Structure 1
Amino acid sequence: MRIMIVDDNPVNLIIIEKILKSEGYRDCLTASSAYELYKHLGVDSGEPPESDVDLILMDMMMPEIDGLEACRRIKREERLRDIPIIIVTALGDSNKLAEALDAGAMDYVMKPINKVELMARIRSALRLKKEMDWHIERDRKIRNELDLAKQVQRSVLGEPVDNEIIRVSANYYPSFELAGDMYSWYRIDDSRYGVILLDMMGHGISSSLVCMFISSVLKDTITRLIDPELVINELNRYMTQLYSKEHFIHYYFTAIYLVIDTNRKVIEYVNAGHPPGLLLTQGGEALQLDQGSCAVGFFEQIEISKARIEYEDESRIFLFTDGLLEAVEEAGGDLLEELTRARGNDLDRILERILPEEVRKDHHDDMCMVMITAKS
């Protein structure tokens, strides 16, 4: 443990240093002013610190820069704010002592210094510092693991498709590091694609883990069963396996899943409690995709109603989560009307016109949109 003693009185420096060394704290540094302390810690200079400090004992009354101002300045530095500071003072003014604590000091010691009291307060401060360091290190490890989980989660999202029969792309604005929205699409055969957009309950680690669980079975479920009724029913079976009887926790998600047959020009879909998708034809017809079932995972058995739509010319389908719908409404717009007027195939530009920049950067829920163009 390295302790820095700051006092403009050389006698006080000697006394405190002797007390510390007699108690086994031999790694002590001294400074006669706040300027020397700043220099050692690299404050204001942009230079790295000369060495790490685990605790600062600082006199309150010093010329030019007193202990209170020095304490405030150190606490403004993110890399230094966790260093515990004990103020040493001869003043018994309770207002001044309260000011020292408000400035960021962890504790204070009165002069003349009582060795027993000083050591007790130092041990208490160092115990707290050790706990803080443990939490900081744990948080760092958690952040690293969350970053890895975020990369894994993003890796399972569908990549854009643009071929002779279909164009599929998505835009995603997660509100958390680990989010609850997921989209995927799979080529079933030469003329058919299965596309799904789902919105998992909640945010963070739990929703991400459930998303990853569902993503692990999606491809097999869609390419094997294909039919929207069968796929949603199978996903419901997987989700009900996660039900915790002990904690009465139901994990669920809303979803819209559709199969596009570009040869027969038919779209079959199930909307499982999700915001209605929008189908736009070249002839100007707009159809909402709102037929299906309740959310997936609520009940062991659910009633599912599949819808079937035939189209003739090139058609576009917009799928989106409730976070995007609510964000547009809060900005004073109507998402369905905006999408009906949308032109072009650049989803980024479409969303830039629909969503103000401040909403895209600062939003409380995940926002996701998938655009599908079934080519003629």
Structure 2
Amino acid sequence: MLRKEILNLVESKVEEYSMLNYHVLESMADWVRVVNKEGIIIYANKTMKEAVGDNIIGTKCYQVHGKEKPCRFCIAERSMATGEIVQKEEKINGRYFSVKSSPVLNCNGEIFAAVEVFRDVTRERKLELELIEKNKKMSKDLLFAKKIQEKILPSKDTLEKLKVDYLYKPSEMLSGDMFDVFHVDEENIGIYISDVAGHGIAASMMTMFIRQTMRAIKDDILSPSIALSELHRRFSTLNLEVDKYFTIFYGVFNKETYQFKYANAGHNCIPIKYGNDDVELLKVKGYPISLIFNEISYEEKKIQLKKEDKILFYTDGITEAKDKSGKDFGVEGVMEAIYSKNNNILKEIEENIINHSWGEQEDDFALVLMEVIE
């Protein structure tokens, strides 16, 4: 069929069926073409002709894109066969196009062609691909940070007269919960647990500050209450936003006297001391480490420990774990596990949390068990 005859056919079809508004199509910024049932282009708008050439009328639809055979999935063919509007994405000469094909009907309701609209989405796709690559890099960096955060946790080991075990589960890749155990001097061992507001990258960075600062403070300050005041002072010099804060419970165990001194900076998950004969909450008042106060002092208490005494430290990811009705696991859930006298209390609490919250974890949580073994 000659090109002139094809153009005459197209114009007569347009006029007869009034299916295509010729002037609207010609002014569109998108490429528009009409393909008949033989896969031949019988119309292309001005924008498409300027992009791929005036001689595309009468050629096979796939030849315009430099292909030697039809597409494996031809949306024009699908539209004409089913009457559906079909869409796909196609890469043409290094550019990305969103292509939508719609059936064209004559006055008898019969499909005789398909109109295809090509929208250039190259900019969007390139931005999307760049974002995917950046996300891959970020995920890789987060994984590295996760490994570092896990590596700096204390060893599950025995520090002379103390045995330390723990359970640590971030809700995301990184956690805002942190704890540490270290020698303060030849006679004393320090232990703390902290919980940074929020979780993720910002919270995990704050845990690094807490760890490094506490390890620096312990060389000069033995008293838990004074240590927390100094921690607050150093935190204030960071000049962060007022919504950045954290809680921390810090205690020092003397290996010679078995005395345990402690102070609390707003940590509402009160550590629980228990042994063969009693259970006691180590309550002591104190405000979180925040920018609300320029200076702050903390109350300090002490208890006498003995062999087989244990202290369980935990964060609010434990107590605030909710069941389907919204009920918290609570301190009651922790106490119930203690009273069960299970030899592996950390494992029992973990299993109880999983059962309570149906396996869903919304917040970071940490459990640390300190036991006097000599």
Structure 1 pair 363–344 and aligned structure 2 pair: CA distance change class (3 A)? same
How far apart are the structure 2 equivalents of 1:342 and 1:183? Answer: 25
1:320 aligns with 2:338: no
Coordinate RMSD, CA, aligned:
3.6
Structure 1 pair 19–351 and aligned structure 2 pair: CA distance change class (3 A)? farther
Structure 1 pair 20–14 and aligned structure 2 pair: CA distance change class (3 A)? farther
How far apart are the structure 2 equivalents of 1:31 and 1:270? Answer: 78
Q: Could you tell me which residue of structure 1 aligns to residue 101 of structure 2? A: 88
Q: Could you tell me which residue of structure 2 aligns to residue 103 of structure 1? A: none
Give percent identity, aligned residues only.
21
Which of 241, 249, 272 matches 2:242? Answer: 249
SS at match of 2:233: helix
Q: Which amino acid aligns with 2:366?
A: C
Q: Could you tell me which residue of structure 2 aligns to residue 210 of structure 1? A: 206
How far apart are the structure 1 equivalents of 2:76 and 2:219? Answer: 69
Q: Which amino acid aligns with 2:119?
A: I
The Cα shift of 1:160 comes to: 0.9
Q: Could you tell me which residue of structure 1 aligns to residue 288 of structure 2? A: 295
Which of 135, 140, 144 matches 1:144? Answer: 140
Q: Could you tell me which residue of structure 1 aligns to residue 39 of structure 2? A: 10
State the Cα deviation string for residues 226-271 of structure 1 (Å, max 9, x = none).
3201211111112111234xxx534211111111113201110011
Q: Could you tell me which residue of structure 2 aligns to residue 154 of structure 1? A: 150
Which of 237, 256, 267 matches 2:260? Answer: 267
Count of aligned pairs between the two proteins: 313
Structure 1 pair 112–183 and aligned structure 2 pair: CA distance change class (3 A)? closer
Q: Which amino acid aligns with 1:217?
A: T
State the Cα deviation string for residues 328-375 of structure 1 (Å, max 9, x = none).
752588234224314355354222443234738421111111110012
SS at match of 1:10: coil
The Cα shift of 1:111 comes to: 5.4
How far apart are the structure 2 equivalents of 1:189 and 1:161? Answer: 18
How far apart are the structure 2 equivalents of 1:317 and 1:156? Answer: 22
1:278 aligns with 2:272: yes
Question: Where in structure 2 are the equivalents of 1:41-80 lying within 5 Å?
Answer: 61-63=79-81, 68=86
CA contact (8 A) 1:59 1:89 kept: no
How far apart are the structure 2 equivalents of 1:186 and 1:13? Answer: 81
Structure 1 pair 295–141 and aligned structure 2 pair: CA distance change class (3 A)? same
Of 137-146 and 322-331, deviating more is 322-331
The Cα shift of 1:304 comes to: 0.6
1:201 aligns with 2:226: no
How far apart are the structure 2 equivalents of 1:209 and 1:158? Answer: 18
State the Cα deviation string for residues 19-74 of structure 1 (Å, max 9, x = none).
76449x986547646xx249xxxxxxxxxxxxxxxxxx766515489663x85xx9
How far apart are the structure 2 equivalents of 1:374 and 1:213? Answer: 29
* Unpaired runs of at least 5, structure 2: 1-32, 55-62, 90-95, 106-112
Which of 366, 369, 372 matches 1:371? Answer: 369
Which of 216, 223, 240 matches 2:236? Answer: 240
TM-score (norm. length: structure 2): 0.71
SS at match of 1:169: strand
CA contact (8 A) 2:79 2:114 kept: no
CA contact (8 A) 2:80 2:114 kept: no
How far apart are the structure 2 equivalents of 1:127 and 1:30? Answer: 28
Q: Which amino acid aligns with 1:256?
A: F
SS at match of 1:122: strand
Q: Could you tell me which residue of structure 2 aligns to residue 100 of structure 1? A: none
CA contact (8 A) 1:279 1:287 kept: yes
Structure 1 pair 145–336 and aligned structure 2 pair: CA distance change class (3 A)? closer
Specify the structure having the higher radius of gyration (Cα): 2
